[in-house]
Structure 1
Amino acid sequence: MHLADASVQPGNPVGTGGFLAAADRALGLLVEIPAALLVLAEIALLLASVIARYVFHTPLVWGDELASMMFLWLSMLGAVVALRRGEHMRMTALLSRVSPQARAFIDVLTIAASIAFMFMVFPHALEYAEEEAVVSTAALEISNAWRASAWPVGMGLMLLTGVLRLTRVATLKQAVSSLALVALIVGVFYLASPILMTLGKVNLIIFFVGVVAVNVFLGVPIAFGFALATFGYLALTTHTPLVVMVGRMDEGMSHMILLAVPMFIFLGMLIEMTGMARAMIGFLASLLGHVRGGLSYVLIGAMYLVSGISGSKIADMAAVAPALFPEMQKRGSKPGDLAALLSATGAQTETIPPSIVLITIGSVTGVSIAALFTGGLLPAAALGLVLGFIVWRRSRKQDLQGLVRATRKEILRTLWIALPAIVLPFLIRAAVVEGVATATEVSTIGIAYSVIAGLLLYRQFDWSRLPKMLVDTATLSGAIIFIVGAATAMAWGLTQSGFSRDLAALMTQIPGGTVGFLLVSIVAFAILGSVLEGIPAIVLFGPLLFPIAHAVGVHEVHYAMVVILAMSLGLFAPPFGVGFYGACAISKVDPDEAIPYMWGYLVALAIGTVIIALVPWISIGFL
C-alpha cells in the first residue's frame, strides 16, 4: 500500500539518535513548511483568478503561469516529504508474506533502489535547469530557471532524504549491503549495454516488463520503479540524451489540470474536518436506518456523496466507516462483511466527479473534463444498484426488533443540517459546466464554501489541524504527481520504440469488434489496477489505448468509464488490490476475515462493469 518503516530487524538503525536524527528532523521542517505554504498560495491564487475573471471581468493573465511554476515546486517538495514519511505508493501484498527479517532487508533495498535513481538522474536534472535558464516566460517575463530549478533542488533533497531515511530504518550492515547490491545490479546492466544494444524490441520486455515487475513486486515505490526502468532503457539501449527524460517527466507533471489534485485532496480533508460528511451520513441514516440492511444502503449512498468531493479513496472510507460501523455491528453485521462492503463501495465510486482519476484521464488523453464529470455519475449509480442487490440478499433475515423508524420531523431536521453539505457536489459540477471556473479552479470554490459552512453553519472548524492538513495535502499530491511524471516518461519511451504502433495493430485485430475490444480492456485494466493502482496505469496506457478505442468506434467518455471501473475492480480485489487492504485497515478487520464476503460483491461489480461496457447510454446518455 505505502512504504512503511522496516521496524522489525535485528540491531539498531544507524541514525536513531544524535546528529543524523536531528538532521532528518531539520530537513523535514525545511521541506514541509514551504510545501504547506505553497498549497495555501495555490488556493489563494486560483480563487483570485476566478474572482478576477468572473466578477471583475479582468483575468489575471499571469495567473496560470505563476500557478504552474508553484505547482512544480509543490509537487517536488511533496514528493520529498512523501519519501521521508514512506508514503510513496507501492505494492506490499507479496512482502506481507515473507519473514520479518526478509521484509526488513527488502524494505531497506527498496530505499537503496530509489537512492540509485536519484543519484543517476541528478546531473541531468541540473542540466535541464541550465538549459531552461535561457528561456523567458511569456507573461511574467522572467527566466524559466525559477521554475525548472525545482528539478535539481527536488532531486537533491530526495537524494539527501533517501540517505537519511536509510540511516533511520537500517542497521549499518543492512545499509551497506543493500547499497552494494543495487550498485552491483546497476554495474551488471551497464556492462551488458553492448549486448542490449543489439536486442532491439526485446529490450521492451527486459525493461518495461522485467525491471518494472521486479521493482513493483519487491515493493519499490511505483514511481521509482517506472523511472528506473525508463532510465535504464534510454541509457543502455538508445542514444537519447538523458536530459530528455527529465523533460518528459516535467511535461507530464506540468498539465495545469493536475493542479486540481492537491486542491481536491485538501477539499476532502476540509469536508471531514468541518463535519459535512457526518451530516450527509446522518441524513441518509434517518431515511433508511429502519429497513433490513438499511445502514448498508446508507454506506453505499454515503460513499457516493463523499467520493464526489474528496481526493483520496482512503480518506473517503475513513470519513464514512467510523460513523456507521459501530451501529451496524450492534445490529448484527459481521465485521468481515462490513470491510468487504466498504472496499466494494470504494470500487463503485471511482467515476464520481470530481474524481482525481477522472481529472488525470482527462489531462493525459485530452478528453473533456466536463464531459467526464457528466458521464461518471450514472455508472457509479448503476454499480450502487448491483451492490444494493447483494446487500438485500444478505440482509433478508436481519432482525429489525428494537429499530425505530425516524419521524418526518427528524428526517426534515437531518435534511436541514445536511443540506449545505449535499449542495456542495452539485455546486462544484455546475461551476464547471456553466463556465464559472475551470476544472482546476473549481475546487477553490468548494474550499471557500466549506470554510464558510464550517465556520458559520456547522461551527466545527479546528484551526489547529490546518497545518497538518496542508502538509498531508502536499505529501499525497507529490506522491501522485511524481507517479504521473515517471509514467509519462515511460509512455514516451514506449512510443519512441514503436510499441504504440504494435499495440494499436494488435488491439484492432481482436475478434468481436467493439465488444471484443471492450471486454479485453476490462480484463487488462483489472489486472493493471491490481498491480499498478489506477493513476499509474491511466497515465501509462491511456495515451496509447484511447486513440485505438476511438478508431474502433468507442466513445472516449464511455471508454473512460469502462477503464476506470475495470481498474477499480483490480484495485479493491484481493489478493493484490491495495484498496482492499486499506478498507480492512480502516475497518480494523483481518483481511482473511473479509475475503469470503468480498467475492459476492466483486462478482456483482464485474457484472455491472460488463453491462456498462455493453450499454454506452449509461455513460454518455446525458452528454
Structure 2
Amino acid sequence: MVVTLFLAFFVLIFVGVPIAFALAAASILSLLLFTDMPMLLIVQRMYSGLDVFALMAIPLFLFAGYLMSEARISDRLVALASVFLGRYKGGLSLVATGSSAIFGAISGSANATTAAIGSVMIPAMAKRGYDQADSAAVVAASGILGLVVPPSITMVLYGVVAGVSIGDLFLSGIIPALIISAGLMGVNYYIAKRKGYLGSEPVPMAEAVKIFRDSLIALAMPLIILGGIYSGAFTPTESAAVASAYGLLVGFYWYRNLTLKSVFNVSKKTVEVTATILFLIGTSNVFTYILTSENVPQSLAAGLIGFSDSPIVIMLIILAMLLFLGTFLDNVAAIILVTPTLLPVVHSLGIDPIFFGVYIVIAVAVGQITPPVGLNLFIATNLTDRRFEEVCRSTVPYLFLYTALLVFFIFVPGLLSVFG
C-alpha cells in the first residue's frame, strides 16, 4: 500500500496537480485498493487533524501580517534600516536584508516579505547601479527570514504537528535568525565590494529621529507578541488575536492608511490562504495515518539508526533529504508531511524536538530559493526585467550560505534551542 501511496502522490505532483489534491487522491486510492475503510471515516480522519485549538493562530497571524503590509509598513522599515546600514558599501543590499528581518517578524511569511521589501528595494537598488539579477537574489534570499524570524507560521504548524511549545519555538528562532541575517549581510558586502556597488547618502540626524519615531509602532508588534507569551499574559494563539487587533489599531488610527475596503481585501486573502493550509493539513493527516498504520516512521527510524547511531550523521542525511524535498514541495507541505515521519528518529536519538523544529523550519525554507518551484525566486524575478535563469545564478552564493549554516547548526545544536 505504501508503494502505491507514494507512486500515486509523486506522479500527481509531477503532472502539476496541487499538493493537497495529490495527497487526497493518493490516500483515497490506496485506502480503496487495500482496505475496506468507509469514505465517511476518511473524512473524519481529515477533520481530526484540524480539531486543534492552536491552529486558530494561523489565520490570526496571517491577518495581522497582511494588515501591516497593507498599511505600507515595509516603506517605513526600509527607511529605518537605511538609517543604520545604507551608508556602507553595498548598503542597499544590507538594507534589504535588515528590513526583511524586521518585516519577517511582522508578517511571518517568506513570500509576503519578498514581495513587500522587493517592491521597495529592487527599484531603489537599480537606481544606484545594482544589477537587477543581484537585487532580486538579495531580496529572495532575505525573504526567507520571514519564515525564520518569530512569530512564524511554519513554527506554529510544527508545534501543532509535533506537540511541542510554540512559544519555545518562537524564542529559539531568535538566535539562528540573527546568525542568518549576519551571514546574508556578509555575502551582500562581499558581492558589493567585488562588483563596486555603493551605499546611499547618510541620513541627517533630524530625519533619522523622525524615521525612528515613525517606525516604533510597527516594531512594537513582535515585542508585544513574544513579551506577552513569555510573561504569561497570553498564549501563542491569544497573541495572534492581540496582533490582529494591534494591526487594526495601528493601520486605522496611527498610520491612517487602512480603509474598510482594504480590510475586506485582507480578510479575503486571509480566508483563501487559511483554507489552502487547513485543507493541506486535513489531507496530509490521512496520508500520515496510512504511513503510521504501515509502521513507516518506525521502519525509517530503525533503518537510519541501523546505518549509524551518530546524531550528526543522521542529521546530515535528514538535511540532504529536506533540501531535496524543498525543490518541489512548499514549506507548509514539507513541514506537515515530514515532521510525523521523522519524529520517531529524533526521539530515538535523543535530539531535542525544539532544536529539530527550528532546524526543519530553516531547512525547508531554503526551498523558497531553489528552482524549479522556489516561489521567492518567481516573486523577485517578476519585480525585474531579468530572466528567471539569471536570478537563479545570482542566488547560488546564498544557497551555499544557507547550506553551510545548516551544517554548522548540526554541530552547534544549542544555538537552535537556547531558549527551549
- TM-score range (shorter-chain normalised) is over 0.9
CA distance in 2, matches of 1:451, 1:520: 45
Aligned pairs (5 A) from 1:244-393: 244-393=41-190
Structure 1 counterpart of 2:3, from 199, 202, 205: 205
Q: Deviations over 1:290-320 (max 9, x none)?
A: 2111111111111111112214322221211
CA distance in 1, matches of 2:384, 2:238: 34
Structure 1 counterpart of 2:381, from 584, 593, 602: 584
SS at the partner of 2:92? helix
Counterpart of 2:180 in structure 1: which amino acid? L
Q: Deviations over 1:133-179 (max 9, x none)?
A: xxxxxxxxxxxxxxxxxxxxxxxxxxxxxxxxxxxxxxxxxxxxxxx
Counterpart of 2:237 in structure 1: which amino acid? T
Q: Deviations over 1:228-274 (max 9, x none)?
A: 01001111111223322111110112212111111111111110122
Is contact 2:229–2:235 with CA below 8 Å preserved after alignment?
yes
- Say yes or no: does 1:231 pair with 2:14: no
Structure 2 counterpart of 1:548: 345
Structure 2 counterpart of 1:490: 287
1:599 Cα deviation after fit: 0.7
Structure 1 counterpart of 2:333, from 528, 533, 536: 536
Is contact 2:297–2:344 with CA below 8 Å preserved after alignment?
no
Structure 2 counterpart of 1:511: 308
Is contact 1:273–1:462 with CA below 8 Å preserved after alignment?
no
SS at the partner of 1:575? coil
Is contact 2:45–2:285 with CA below 8 Å preserved after alignment?
yes
1:443 Cα deviation after fit: 1.6
Q: TM-score, normalised by structure 1?
A: 0.65
Aligned pairs (5 A) from 1:73-88: none
CA distance in 2, matches of 1:279, 1:254: 39
SS at the partner of 2:147? coil
Is contact 1:526–1:567 with CA below 8 Å preserved after alignment?
yes
Q: For structure 1, which segment, 312-321 or 577-586, has the greater mean C-alpha deviation from structure 2 after superposition?
A: 577-586
Task: List runs of 5+ in structure 2 lacking aligned partners.
Answer: none
Aligned pairs (5 A) from 1:450-469: 450-469=247-266
CA distance in 2, matches of 1:499, 1:451: 46
Is contact 2:114–2:376 with CA below 8 Å preserved after alignment?
no
CA distance in 1, matches of 2:210, 2:342: 49
CA distance in 1, matches of 2:374, 2:198: 35
Is contact 2:325–2:334 with CA below 8 Å preserved after alignment?
yes
CA distance in 1, matches of 2:205, 2:400: 37
1:541 Cα deviation after fit: 2.1
Is contact 2:122–2:383 with CA below 8 Å preserved after alignment?
no
- Say yes or no: does 1:435 pair with 2:232: yes
Is contact 1:267–1:311 with CA below 8 Å preserved after alignment?
no
Structure 2 counterpart of 1:560: 357
Counterpart of 2:160 in structure 1: which amino acid? S
Is contact 2:168–2:419 with CA below 8 Å preserved after alignment?
no
- Say yes or no: does 1:615 pair with 2:412: yes
Q: Deviations over 1:470-496 (max 9, x none)?
A: 111101110111001111110001111
Q: For structure 1, which segment, 539-548 or 595-604, has the greater mean C-alpha deviation from structure 2 after superposition?
A: 539-548
Is contact 1:267–1:446 with CA below 8 Å preserved after alignment?
yes
Counterpart of 2:9 in structure 1: which amino acid? V
Is contact 1:339–1:594 with CA below 8 Å preserved after alignment?
yes
CA distance in 1, matches of 2:109, 2:274: 10
SS at the partner of 1:353? coil
Q: Against the structure 1 CA distance between its residues 399 and 355, is the aligned structure 2 distance closer, same or farther, given a 3 Å change threshold?
A: closer
Is contact 1:530–1:578 with CA below 8 Å preserved after alignment?
no
Structure 2 counterpart of 1:571, from 341, 345, 368: 368
CA distance in 2, matches of 1:539, 1:278: 34
- Say yes or no: does 1:445 pair with 2:242: yes
- Say yes or no: does 1:398 pair with 2:189: no
CA distance in 1, matches of 2:287, 2:380: 30
Q: Deviations over 1:101-153 (max 9, x none)?
A: xxxxxxxxxxxxxxxxxxxxxxxxxxxxxxxxxxxxxxxxxxxxxxxxxxxxx
CA distance in 2, matches of 1:579, 1:239: 43
Tell me how large the CA RMSD over aligned residues is.
Answer: 1.7
Aligned residues: 419
Q: Deviations over 1:29-60 (max 9, x none)?
A: xxxxxxxxxxxxxxxxxxxxxxxxxxxxxxxx
1:570 Cα deviation after fit: 2.5
SS at the partner of 1:253? coil
Task: List runs of 5+ in structure 1 lacking aligned partners.
Answer: 1-202
Q: Against the structure 1 CA distance between its residues 219 and 234, is the aligned structure 2 distance closer, same or farther, given a 3 Å change threshold?
A: same
SS at the partner of 2:107? coil
Aligned pairs (5 A) from 1:11-90: none
CA distance in 2, matches of 1:495, 1:367: 19
SS at the partner of 1:509? helix
Counterpart of 1:272 in structure 2: which amino acid? S
Q: Deviations over 1:188-232 (max 9, x none)?
A: xxxxxxxxxxxxxxx312222x11111111111110100001001
1:360 Cα deviation after fit: 0.2
Of the two, which has the highest radius of gyration? 1
SS at the partner of 2:328? helix
Is contact 2:155–2:166 with CA below 8 Å preserved after alignment?
yes
Q: TM-score, normalised by structure 2?
A: 0.95
Q: Deviations over 1:335-356 (max 9, x none)?
A: 1111112221133442221111
CA distance in 1, matches of 2:77, 2:143: 17
